[in-house]
Amino acid sequence: MTTLRFMMSDLATTRQLSSSVGDYLKAIWEVAGTGGASTNDVAVRLSVAPASVTNMFGRLREMGLVEYERYRGAFLTERGLEEALRLLRRHRLIETFLLEHLGYPWKGVHEEAERLEHAVSDVFAQRLAEFLGSPERDPYGDPIPRADGTLAPEESWLLDQTKVGERVRAYRVQTSPIIG
Ligand SMILES: [Zn+2]
């Protein structure tokens, strides 16, 4: 009995660790893309203490997912980037599904997608993409990474950078300084 309980709690820890690893990779991508993400920016993004971020950056480096230097921040390695985009793909497909098919209001879809993205398999994500008609963008206008890990090029700019009288089409809603 004792042994079983020990194993169960071990499993729970492993699952929690892997989803938080994913959240960090995604946060690094969202605040810095392939550039260096600072401890503070990632801390703000994830609402955690900077010390926890420093700690996790060290662990991600050991796992080969980031390159990290104290004063330059964390850079995703090829493997780290692949994992970040895989999660982002799931996240944005799930958000699209919740908004377009389950009647979710805009507020609340992000949190729901945050939870679900860790629970679904690659097969589910692929079926979901097909069900949705393989969208290139989510309802916010954010690009959905493709299954091969590529991303549609960003062609939008902020409305305040538009010249007076210029005709534009608004197709992307940025809800915070950082996308997601
Ligand atoms: Zn979201």
How confident is the model over 137-147, as pLDDT tens digits? 998 888 999 99
H-run or E-run covering 73: strand 73-76
Summarize the confidence of residues 82-93 as an average pLDDT: 95
Give distance in angstroms: CA of 140 to centre of ligand 1.
9
Question: What residues are neighbours of ligand 1 (ion), with CB under 5 Å?
Answer: 110, 180
Give distance in angstroms: CA of 91 to centre of ligand 1.
6
What residue segments make up the domains of the chain, in order of their start? 2-76, 84-161
Q: Which of the following CATH numbers is that of domain 84-161: 1.10.3720.10, 2.40.50.90, 3.90.550.10, 1.10.10.10?
A: 1.10.10.10
Q: Name the token pair of 118.
A: 């860790």
pLDDT at 5 over 90: no
Look at the alpha carbons of 137, 97, 150, 29 in this order and tell me if their dihedral is positive or negative: positive
Summarize the confidence of residues 80-108 as an average pLDDT: 95
Equal fold, 2-76 vs 84-161: yes
CATH of the domain spanning 2-76: 1.10.10.10
pLDDT at 162 over 50: yes
Residue 4: per-residue pLDDT:
47
Give distance in angstroms: CA of 110 to centre of ligand 1.
4
- pLDDT cut 90: percent of the chain above it: 63
Q: Name the token pair of 100.
A: 């377009």
Give distance in angstroms: CA of 64 to centre of ligand 1.
26
Question: Which residues, 6+ apart, have CB-to-CB distance to 94 below 8 Å?
Answer: 112, 113, 116, 117, 120, 128
Residue 130 has, within 13 A of its CA and on its CB side, a CA count of 6
Closest to 42 (Cα-Cα) out of 63, 28, 56 = 28
One-letter amino acid of 131: F
Residue range 61-71, pLDDT digits in tens = 999 999 998 88
Give distance in angstroms: CA of 78 to centre of ligand 1.
23
Whether 66 contacts 54, CB under 8 Å: no
Give distance in angstroms: CA of 40 to centre of ligand 1.
20
pLDDT at 173 over 70: no
